[in-house]
Structures are given as C-alpha cells and as structure tokens.
Amino acid sequence: MLADRVENISNGALSDGVEIDASVKAVIEFIDTHFSDFSKKVKGEISASEKALTDKLCKYFNRVAGSYPFYFHHENVEDHSSGKSPQIDIGTLSREEQITIGDKNYNEFDSFFSIEAKRLPTPGQNREREYLIGHDKANGGIERFKKGIHGKGLRYSAIIGYVQKEDFDFWFLQINDWIEELIRTSKGEWIADDKLTKRGVQTDKQLTKFESDNIRVPVKSGTDKIKLFHFWISLVDDT
C-alpha cells in the first residue's frame, strides 16, 4: 500500500496539532523539497501563461519523482462520469491500482491530492482576485475548492502561486485583505479560517508557504473543511 511505502520518505510534523495521512504528507514534503529548484528554472518568466508554467511544473515533478510511489498528471479530469467535468491543473495519483486514505478508497484513475495553479497577478480585466474568486463565474482558486468543483471529497489539496509581480509579502497581505472583505459581505460563506497563515520560517527567497482551513460551501457545518497548502514561487528576476 502507498501509505506503507512512504514511511521512509515522509517524516516530521507539517502543522502543529494536525495529523496528516502519510500518503498526503509525502506529497507535501515532495513539493517542499523540489519546488524551489523548479523556480530557478523559470526565473524571469514574468509574462508566461499559467498553462505553460504548469505544464513545465508537472513534467519537472514527474522527472524527479522516480523513486516516489506517486506521479502527477496535468489537467486531470475530476469526474470521469461527466463529459463536462472540470479539470484540476495537476492531479496526484498512486502508482498502485488502489490506495486508502482515511476512510476513502482511491482507484488508479483518482487524484488523492489535487493541485490548482494561479498567477499573481492574474492578467486580464476584472481578474485581479482570481486566486480567491472569479468575477462572473466560479473560477477562483480557493473558491473552486470551497465549492467542491476541485478536490471534492478530499481533505487536503494545494494551490500553486506563480508570483510575476511584486513580492510575497505584498500578495500575502493583499489576499488576506480581500478575504476580510469577503468575510464582511458573504453571509458566512467566508470565515477567518479561510485566511492564509504562514507555514514555517521562510529561509528561501524563491519559495514561501502558507496554509488555510477552508470551509465548504454551501455551509453544512463548521467542521466541513478542506485544508489547502499554498506554495508560492517568485519568477521576478531581482538580479
């Protein structure tokens, strides 16, 4: 089983007071280990499209994931029973035919840890808040996880941020300010736990990490949440 095979790969706590399944922990630690090196390969690509960057990221992850018991798939279909299914930017799949995480079974075609990607800033008119919410449809990064469009049934997923302008502190404050506004205006669909909190001490100028406990909508209970891990890399060439 995948969970048994990752014990020698994954170790240590990722978040105080939170026990994360070994299979999910291994994926998060894989991203922690390799994402910074990827940022060096795309440094200076401040106008590259989200699709192009994510295509490169998925190929890079698969190249360095040789010994890991999982692999990554670009534009992974969320619902194989629907011809109009949404696609997550990167799905994470076991190399085995079936795994169990928590109380749920995943077959060989299911993503057990889904990854969405967004540019910061998102280019285009009325798209400045797309890391969070869409302008006239539900295409915001966090929004899609909250509504189950992405990561339905998952307890953990991730959002990649490609910073192409400004710096990490700017976007951390800006996004949390936007969430504060949504808390005031959304009638309970956004709460304080939706805000980003820093994860660990930042020692790498290329990479910063956050997490958020996002309540599902429509709201059924205060415990119906998905935990998101946010990984941001800077593409701004500051040399």
Task: Report pLDDT digits (tens) over 159-203.
Answer: 999 999 999 999 999 999 999 999 999 888 999 999 999 987 666
pLDDT of residue 19: 56
Looking at the chain, the whole-number percentage of residues with pLDDT higher than 90 is 67
CB 89 within 8 A of CB 54: yes
pLDDT of residue 57: 98
pTM across the whole model: 0.90
**Domain locations along the chain:** 2-234
Tokens 């018991």: give the residue. Answer: 69
pLDDT of residue 205: 78
Answer with the residue of higher pLDDT: 238 or 172.
172
pLDDT at 110 over 50: yes
Task: Using the CB atoms, write b or e for 103-124: b if 16+ within 10 Å.
Answer: eeebeeebbbbbbbbbbbbbee
228: β partners: 157, 212
